[in-house]
Chain A
Amino acid sequence: MKKFIIPSIFVFTLFVCMLFFQNCTASKEAIANKSGAQLWGENCLRCHNTPSPTDFNDTQWKTIGLHMQDRANLTKDEADKIVTFLQSAN
Chain B
Amino acid sequence: MNFNRFILIWLLLGLSKSYAQDSIQSQLDAVKSEITDLKKIEKSHFMIRGFTQFGLDASSEDLSFNMTSFNPIILWRHGDRFLFESELEMEYMSNIFSLNLGYASASYLVTKGLVIKGGKILIPFGTFGEKFHPSWSNKLASAPLGFGHDGMVPMADVGVEVKGGVQVGSAKLSYAAYAVNGPRIKDGTEEPTEAGMLSFENMNDNNRNKAFGARLGILPLQNSSLELGGSVYYALPGSFKSPFAGDPKLKDLNYNNVTALLTALDLCFVKIIQPLSGVLDIKGQYNVSKISNATYFNPSDTARYTFQNNASSYYIQVAFRPSLLDNKVLKNFELVGRYSVYNTPKKSLWESEQSQIQFGLDYWFTWRTVIKVSYQINNGTMGGSGMSSMAGMAGMSANVILFHIATGF
Is A75 a contact of B265 with CB atoms below 8 Å?
no
Chain B contacts for A71, CB-based, 8 A: 130-131
The distance in angstroms between the C-alpha atoms of A61 and B352, with both chains bound, is 46
The distance in angstroms between the C-alpha atoms of A76 and B167, with both chains bound, is 10
Main secondary structure of the interface of B (DSSP, over half): strand
Is A63 a contact of B117 with CB atoms below 8 Å?
no
Is B368 a contact of A48 with CB atoms below 8 Å?
yes
Give the A-B contact count at a CB cut-off of 8 A.
135
Is A77 a contact of B117 with CB atoms below 8 Å?
no
Given contacts A49-B364, A49-B367, A49-B368, contact A6 B220 (CB under 8 A): no
Is B113 a contact of A75 with CB atoms below 8 Å?
yes
Looking at B39-47, B143-151, B178-186, B235-243, the stretch in contact with chain A turns out to be B39-47
Chain A contacts for B42, CB-based, 8 A: 59
Hey, what's the 0/1 contact readout for B221-240 against A, CB within 8 Å counting as 1? 11111011010000000000
Looking at B19-27, B169-177, B249-257, the stretch in contact with chain A turns out to be B169-177
- Across the two chains, which residue of chain A brings its CB closest to B175? A73
CB-contact partner of B83 in A13, A66, A87, under 8 A:
A66
The distance in angstroms between the C-alpha atoms of A74 and B38, with both chains bound, is 27
Given contacts A63-B47, A69-B109, A71-B131, contact A77 B167 (CB under 8 A): yes
The distance in angstroms between the C-alpha atoms of A62 and B224, with both chains bound, is 22
CB-contact partner of B265 in A6, A46, A60, under 8 A:
A6
Is A48 a contact of B217 with CB atoms below 8 Å?
no
Chain B contacts for A47, CB-based, 8 A: 131-132, 137
CB-contact partner of B38 in A49, A51, A57, A63, under 8 A:
A57
Chain A contacts for B398, CB-based, 8 A: none
Chain B contacts for A50, CB-based, 8 A: 367
Given contacts A42-B224, A66-B83, A76-B109, contact A13 B165 (CB under 8 A): no
Chain B contacts for A60, CB-based, 8 A: 45, 47
Is B172 a contact of A75 with CB atoms below 8 Å?
yes
Is A73 a contact of B174 with CB atoms below 8 Å?
yes
Is A70 a contact of B107 with CB atoms below 8 Å?
yes
Hey, what's the 0/1 contact readout for B8-47 against A, CB within 8 Å counting as 1? 0000000000000000000000000000001101100101
The distance in angstroms between the C-alpha atoms of A59 and B45, with both chains bound, is 7
Interface status of B75 (Cβ within 8 A of chain A): yes
Interface status of A21 (Cβ within 8 A of chain B): yes
In the complex, the 4 A-B pairs of residues with the closest C-beta atoms, listed nearest first = A24-B169, A73-B174, A48-B137, A73-B165
19 contacts between A and B (CB under 8 A): A10-B230, A20-B169, A21-B168, A21-B171, A43-B224, A47-B132, A48-B137, A49-B367, A62-B41, A62-B77, A62-B80, A63-B75, A63-B77, A66-B80, A66-B81, A72-B174, A75-B164, A75-B165, A87-B41
CB-contact partner of A77 in B112, B230, B265, under 8 A:
B112
Chain B contacts for A27, CB-based, 8 A: 169-170, 222
> Using a CB–CB distance below 8 Å, which chain B residues touch chain A?
38-39, 41-42, 45, 47, 75, 77, 80-81, 83, 85, 107, 109, 112-113, 115, 117, 130-132, 134, 136-137, 163-172, 174-176, 217-218, 220-225, 227-228, 230, 263, 265, 268, 270, 272, 279, 288, 364, 367-368
The distance in angstroms between the C-alpha atoms of A52 and B211, with both chains bound, is 40
Is A25 a contact of B169 with CB atoms below 8 Å?
yes
Chain B contacts for A43, CB-based, 8 A: 224
CB-contact partner of A24 in B130, B164, B168, B225, under 8 A:
B168
The distance in angstroms between the C-alpha atoms of A66 and B167, with both chains bound, is 18
Interface status of A1 (Cβ within 8 A of chain B): no
Is B170 a contact of A46 with CB atoms below 8 Å?
no
Chain B contacts for A78, CB-based, 8 A: 165
The distance in angstroms between the C-alpha atoms of A35 and B364, with both chains bound, is 28
Is B270 a contact of A45 with CB atoms below 8 Å?
yes
- Across the two chains, which residue of chain B brings its CB closest to A16? B220
Given contacts A21-B169, A73-B164, contact A46 B176 (CB under 8 A): no
Chain B contacts for A46, CB-based, 8 A: 224-225, 227, 268, 270
A24 vs chain B, min Cβ distance (A): 2
Is B220 a contact of A20 with CB atoms below 8 Å?
yes
Is B225 a contact of A17 with CB atoms below 8 Å?
no
The distance in angstroms between the C-alpha atoms of A6 and B230, with both chains bound, is 10
The distance in angstroms between the C-alpha atoms of A69 and B176, with both chains bound, is 13
The distance in angstroms between the C-alpha atoms of A89 and B113, with both chains bound, is 26
Is B41 a contact of A52 with CB atoms below 8 Å?
no
Chain B contacts for A23, CB-based, 8 A: 169-170
- Across the two chains, which residue of chain B brings its CB closest to A21? B169
